[in-house]
């Protein structure tokens, strides 16, 4: 298995899952700005993550996370794998992938074309406010210490979103379950290895 990733990007969710699974894999670091030729060769859309598993090339975290959980059931990354729990996991994946992840776009340059600094700043401020609102929803719904109660494929994805919040100073330290979750994930040996491998910590 080969993961095409960009340090700190959403591909880190797949990177963490691969570490949790514990099977051999290799990493290919790629650039998003400008887009690396190594990336566009495997994904013309020029986005990460991309997982190449012996010629099976997958994009999109939701697809890759499920693929890995199904391929390595012994890792038990769908919690108890009951229909109810799978539905909960998919609900959280939907919230993170469709509702929270896109809100960060202004912070990563999506509104720079507006060219007016005050307007661009306003889009970022509005995005941060919306992220915070979504986090409050997750706080209300989530179990503890992980989203579905026990470790699952959705947790690394949420960790990446909270890591971005931390970087962008979007506060969530007053949300006790999310704060505890973030601390738990930061202490995870696999997560620490991924952060180090991606050059995000020394």
Q: Which residues make Cβ contacts (< 8 Å) with residue 31, sequence separation at least 6?
A: 6, 39
pLDDT bin (cut points 50, 70, 90) of residue 144 is: confident
The pLDDT tens digits of the residues spanning 3-29 come to 999 999 999 999 999 999 999 999 999
Consecutive H or E run containing 27: strand 26-29
Span 188-201, average pLDDT = 98
Instruction: Name the burial class of residue 185, with classes exposed (0-12), middle (13-18) and buried (19+) by CB atoms within 10 angstroms of its CB.
Output: buried
- The pLDDT value recorded for residue 119 is 97
The pLDDT tens digits of the residues spanning 41-68 come to 999 999 999 999 999 999 999 999 999 9
- The pLDDT value recorded for residue 101 is 98
Q: Could you give the dihedral angle defined by the CA atoms of residues 122, 127, 130 and 131, in that order, rounded to the nearest 10 degrees?
A: -140
- Cα–Cα dist 87/60, whole Å: 19
- The pLDDT value recorded for residue 202 is 84
- Cα–Cα dist 181/177, whole Å: 6
- Binning the chain into helix, strand and coil, the percentages to the nearest 5 are 60, 10, 30
∠ Cα 94 199 39 (to 5°): 60
Q: Which one-letter DSSP state was computed for residue 96?
A: I
Q: What is the pTM of this model?
A: 0.96
The pLDDT tens digits of the residues spanning 79-121 come to 999 999 999 999 999 999 999 999 999 999 999 999 999 999 9
Span 179-202, average pLDDT = 97
Q: What percent of the chain has pLDDT over 90?
A: 98
- The per-residue DSSP string of 106-173 comes to GGGTTTGGG--HHHHHHHHHHHHHHHHHHHHHHHHH--SSBTTBS-BTHHHHHHHHHHHHHHHT---T
Strand 2-5: give its sheet, edge to edge: 26-29, 2-5, 50-53, 56-59
């Amino acid at each position: 298995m080969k993961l095409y990733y960009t340090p700190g990007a959403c591909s880190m969710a797949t990177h963490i899952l691969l570490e949790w699974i514990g099977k051999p894999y290799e990493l290919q670091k790629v650039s998003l700005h400008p887009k690396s030729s190594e990336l566009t060769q495997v994904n013309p859309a020029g986005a990460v993550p991309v997982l190449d598993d012996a010629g099976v090339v997958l994009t999109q975290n939701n697809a890759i996370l499920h693929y890995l959980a199904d391929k390595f059931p012994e890792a038990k990354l769908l919690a108890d794998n009951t229909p109810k729990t799978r539905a909960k996991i998919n609900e959280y994946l939907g919230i993170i992938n469709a509702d929270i992840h896109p809100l960060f776009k202004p912070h990563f340059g999506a509104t720079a074309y507006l060219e007016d600094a005050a307007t661009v700043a306003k889009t970022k401020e509005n995005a941060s406010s919306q992220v915070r609102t979504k986090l409050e929803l997750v706080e209300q719904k989530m179990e503890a210490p992980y989203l579905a109660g026990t470790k699952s494929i959705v947790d690394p994805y949420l960790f990446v979103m909270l890591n971005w919040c931390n970087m962008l100073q979007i506060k969530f330290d007053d949300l006790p379950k999310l704060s505890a979750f973030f601390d738990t994930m930061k202490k995870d040996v696999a997560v620490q290895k991924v952060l180090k491998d991606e050059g995000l910590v020394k």
